[in-house]
Structure 1
Amino acid sequence: MMRTRPLKVALLGCGVVGSEVARIMTTHADDLEARIGAPVELAGIAVRRPGRVREGVPAELITTDATELVKRDDIDVVVEVIGGIEPARTLINTAFEHGASVVSANKALLAEHGTALHAAAVEHGVDLYYEAAVAGAIPLIRPLRESLAGDKVDRVLGIVNGTTNFILDRMDSSGAGYSEALDEATALGYAEADPTADVEGFDAAAKAAILAGIAFHTRVTISDVHREGITEVTAADIASARGMGCTVKLLAICERTPDGSAVTARVHPAMIPLTHPLASVREAYNAVFVEAAAAGRLMFYGPGAGGAPTASAVLGDLVAVCRNKVAGTTGPGESAYTRLPVSPMGEVVTRYHISLDVADKPGVLAQVALVFAEHGVSIDTVRQQGKDGDASLVVVTHRAPDAALSAVVEALRSLDTVRGVASIMRVEGE
């Protein structure tokens, strides 16, 4: 039997994503009703600028009082797409207190306060879903949280920021420098006027925190994630990667330590072999590579941002939450039973690609090799090219603790024969 009273939804935010959510809810109301088992109705839309023209959005639903909207006793689900920490956190908690489940696309909030929000949802017997917070339309949160719930995930490796992937792809395919590629990304709408959150890795770090927490059943916040952006990546780095049969990507890497006693979470640019599935991810697309004990290697690929793709993920969560409301139940909440600590970046075992500007004279290579040996780091390959008293020396290491590799770089900078460390980049995916 169909439920007689419609499920009522409050929408917080009506920008690129919110307006698309409102449009789909309006134009696909019959389909949503059939899938949920009850009619679903958009009951109000909270915005900051009520005078703005929003095509296809019912003007009579617009309000500037978000607090009063989420306090309404008839609201069953709140969809939050305003972003940021406040007022989103307060509004979500208020919704919980008044018996409403929440669907959110707010990666920053979840990465910093996810544990408290999950606890509040459990306390009030409601749902908190957030598929759209990571990788846009790509189904990723639900497979990790539900489909792989009986498996052991060992590693999550992914491209989770479309802006940086577009920039690095342009640098690789056209030979453009970082600034030129960023300008193109901005002109095409892939980069914000202030691209800091993307290019400095903050966006990807928030997503890495969410992914690590779900994958390893432990609590990881954005402060636990080692973060480096792409602003220092040069055309020379891209060329060096190409010479090694690699490409450069900004990667989010979450993995268990070899003995399983801890986890690591990091975001940084890295060289990966062209044979790796992530190397073929072009332009503003996202892809996440999951390694699980029983399932093996899985890859999730698709558009990671944009109004329609993100709205698709939001609507998927909305249908799930509404079905739970109809059934009188709730879905899976936070799973943090392992309580694994997060190891610092210095303990991560990785490889380095180091480019040095050195004096072109006998004995330089021996001095450089000695520094590596003194810090217990083994050299895999060396390339040297000299001209007019100067030389470039490119060293690729074997795997070693990141702290040891960092110590090598600092020691190299102190050598009289080393005129500069031109670039440092990790090598992953082998």
Structure 2
Amino acid sequence: MSIPPPPGPHQPQDPYQPPQPPNPSPQDPFAPSQDPYAQDTYAQGPFAQGPYGPQEYQGYQGYQGYQGAPGPQGPYPQAPYGAAPYPLWGQGYSPYGRPAAINGLAVAALVLGILCFLPAVGLVLGLVALAQIRKRGERGKGMAVAGAILSSAGLALWVLALATGGASDFWQGFKEGAGARSGFSLAKGDCFDMPGETFEEDVYDVDEVACSGEHDAEVFATVPLPGSSFPGDDHVTQLADDKCFRLRDSYAMDPWALTDKVDVYYLTPTSESWNHGDREITCVFGPVDDKGTLTGSLRADETTLDAYQLAFLKAMAAVDEVLYREPEDSAEGDLAADLTWAGEARDVIGAQADALGARTWSAKARGPVAALVKDMRKASGEWAAAAKATDVDGFYEHYETAYGYVDDRYTVTARQALGLATTPPAYDEGSDSGDGGGAGSDGESGLDV
């Protein structure tokens, strides 16, 4: 067997090459023939012989070129079957060409220019972006130029608006539009200004304002209307007239706080606004005088009163309610009806006197309330006598005496001690039963949104 040549200067020994089998000794008598024309048995097995030794090891020497070293030199064979050598590991692949990045300031300048928001900032960003693009070779020059131009135009418009006062007009209109509310979006406790001069006009929208300042009206109740079809103007008006006056006392429990300058009005749906979702009556307080205004809230209920005030006003409300039920044409047409009503007044006033007398009051209100309770019991006795009258003259005698105890000086001193209004309301003698005194009205307004 022939001995392979040792590694030369052009064939360094590969440290990762598999170990070579030991060379046979040149004196080996059993060494195979060195006939260069011996049959090539490469494909017959791993130990097949080639002209220069085992072909399997020649293949390993071919891998030396794969590791970056030159292949066999001189007469030594190349890779089997004359195949092309493998690419070198250290060569790698060349990356595809990558586009330049887009400048972020150019994008920001374009957005600000389109929105016309902070035009001065957009102009500055556009100029800075152009400088960065020239220096860094980035993309986005068109966006930077467009943003700068749009921002310049927006800045010019802002300067013109400020110079002519257009900006202040726009801001005022924006605030008015934001504060405007349609009539059917009003809620209990809201205060607003009317767009027209009177409540007799159709109302399309209103401007909500704070109740602490001057305002045209204050909402004290809303009444939802059932059904899917519009019930008609007459029906809605009749329902509003009944419901609003009944709900007034639950919002303004102190009738003395409603002076003769305050009236009850209501905003009602129309057939057109009904189709737009307006399905409720809005009950409001407003000034009697069309040119007048209200100042401060008229609300006096559980949300604004203390326990002493609530107890006193509830007792007085029960007394007022029974007195409001006085029959029409009293003591002239039906004496029996008058006697029955006088008996009801006796019972209610007597019960409320007992309730006030049994309650524990503050030190300031204890004496004034006790004096009022004494008066109420005297009034109850007069109503009892009126209920037993046998003729009209006897009824009227006790009737007038009993009414003399209503809202007298003891009522005023008790109210003053409790921190309530002390000016008695001006009762309307011409009002019908249920309207009571003070703030009755037939005012109304249609709502069209």
Comparing both structures, which one devotes a greater share of its residues to strand?
A: 1
Comparing both structures, which one devotes a greater share of its residues to helix?
A: 2
Which structure would you say has the larger Rg?
A: 2
TM-score category by the smaller chain? Answer: under 0.3
